Structure 1
Amino acid sequence: MVAGLSFFKLSFLLSLLSGGSDLLLLGPGAGSGPAQIGKFPPSCNRIECPSYELVHSGNGYEIRRYNTTAWVSTKPIQDLSFVDATISASFQLFAYIQGKNEYHQKIEMTAPVIAQVLPSDGPFFKSSFVLSFYVPKKYQPDPAPAEDLHIQKWSPRYVAVRQFGGFVSNDGLGEEAAALDSSLKGTAWANAIAKSKKEGGVASDSAYTVAQYNSPYEFTGRVNEIWFPFEMDV
């Protein structure tokens, strides 16, 4: 039973991060689905997800407010491929939740697994990816440290969100991020996002975060998100 749960956790992590492989299995037409707004990720009925307040629903986007959250994150990984980089990083996170941490804690699977993406300046240059696991609420006050991983503690913040379906692959992520950026143009949210990136020292205006929620066995109703986290004076 324990081995079965371990395999499920690994499968879950890999499924979140290996859209390219799943696309090969599913065949043509299984890529990113159409944009969707306000779809509740089915996995959050079964495993813990961070809670948030819906602040605003716009044309092609949502604005959410998340409370303080802790994430366990990899070091930045340089790669040409989102799929390759995140599959490699997923093994580090899997070892962490299986107990390879300073507290020897075995930790429940959560969602989403997020990847912070700093795109390259061109098609032949490597992008930077940081993969993060949402720490369950009971461990949030004191997340277990681990070698080669670090804890990100997010203060309360806003997130602009665009949802899309299907399995995530290398193709299309940039377009989804650009679509979110376009839908926010001319809004107060766009100004706050630009200000937060500048003040946070983000090296590129095109940086974004990919959030993935589903297990490998959910072939329909999949929910993925592009995030632009930001802070806002209210």
Structure 2
Amino acid sequence: MRIFIFFSLLICHTLAAPAIFETAEQIVRSALSLTQSYEEAPYEATLIGDEVYERVYPSKKWVCTKLTVNEESEQQQVTDGTMFWKLFNYIQGANNKDKKIPMTVPVTTHVTKTSGTELEMCFYINADEQADAAAPNNPDVYIKEEPTRTIYTRTIGGYMNTASWKTEAQELAAKLQELGVNFEGNSYWKVGYDAPFKFWNRRNEIWYLKK
């Protein structure tokens, strides 16, 4: 009975927050094994110092949505959840092909400071769908072909919140300045790879675009 309650609560928690999963069955399977894996956006990486990497991502299609908020806050989970579900519904069949599309990693959120804060969340479109990606039904969701881009990043673990994302963005920016590399400092990406029920070896990244 306790095991049933645990998994019921786990599923309810996962459905209430941004997560990386496809079905309730997979949630339970992932919670048991913690080995669920998804196709990752391809890149080539070069270590440039102190666990900081330069990565080159080739031009690929991503499915995206965006929102503008006054400022980032601890209520960001609600905003992220709104964007996440729009994209998740797309891969669940809310597209012109009525087709389910595999979940991928990472989930990226581009943070740009303007008069407010513009947030653009994207899912990488898997390799099999790249040539003929289905069009979203939701007008708030769109297919975006990112050009080849070079980013700087490092990987950190644990669970992230608004404060920890900002701290990592500041610390990575300082590290890049120490390394003497040129990067776009007026925006960055928050990048996640894991579902909330993965408790160990979590992977989070801040990305800065190389100038």
TM-score normalised to structure 2 length: 0.76
Q: Distance in 1 between matches of 2:144 and 2:158?
A: 28
Size of the alignment, in residue pairs?
182
Q: Distance in 2 between matches of 1:217 and 1:186?
A: 36
Q: Distance in 1 between matches of 2:158 and 2:39?
A: 21
**Partner of 2:127 in structure 1?**
137
Q: Distance in 2 between matches of 1:11 and 1:162?
A: 29
Aligned pairs for 1:80-91 (under 5 A) are 80=71, 81=73, 82-91=76-85
1:49/1:12 Cα in 2 relative to 1: closer, same or farther (>3 Å)? farther
Q: 2:101 aligns with which of 107, 113, 123?
A: 107
CA shift for structure 1 position 216: 2.4
Q: Distance in 1 between matches of 2:42 and 2:197?
A: 24
**Partner of 2:89 in structure 1?**
95
- Residue 67 (1) aligns with residue 58 (2): yes
**Partner of 1:159 in structure 2?**
151
CA shift for structure 1 position 90: 1.0
1:112-135 per-residue CA deviation (whole Å, 9 max, x = no partner) reads 1110112467xxxx4221111110
| Residue aligned with 1:46, SS | coil
| Residue aligned with 1:211, SS | strand
Aligned pairs for 1:187-198 (under 5 A) are 187=179, 189-190=181-182, 193-194=183-184
CA shift for structure 1 position 215: 1.9
Q: Distance in 1 between matches of 2:61 and 2:15?
A: 23
- Residue 15 (1) aligns with residue 14 (2): no
Unaligned runs of 5+ in 2: 1-10, 21-33
**Partner of 2:195 in structure 1?**
215
| Residue aligned with 1:183, SS | helix
1:145-166 per-residue CA deviation (whole Å, 9 max, x = no partner) reads 2122122211222110122111
Q: Which has the higher contact order (CA 8 A, sep 6+)?
A: 1
1:217/1:225 Cα in 2 relative to 1: closer, same or farther (>3 Å)? same
**Partner of 1:77 in structure 2?**
68
Contact 1:209 1:227 in 2 (8 A): yes
Q: Distance in 2 between matches of 1:174 and 1:151?
A: 28
Contact 1:13 1:94 in 2 (8 A): no
Q: Distance in 1 between matches of 2:135 and 2:180?
A: 38
| Residue aligned with 1:172, SS | helix
Fraction of identical pairs, as percent: 27
Q: Distance in 2 between matches of 1:13 and 1:58?
A: 35
1:79/1:165 Cα in 2 relative to 1: closer, same or farther (>3 Å)? farther
CA shift for structure 1 position 94: 1.4
Runs of 4+ residues deviating >6 angstroms: none
1:163/1:12 Cα in 2 relative to 1: closer, same or farther (>3 Å)? farther
1:13/1:133 Cα in 2 relative to 1: closer, same or farther (>3 Å)? farther
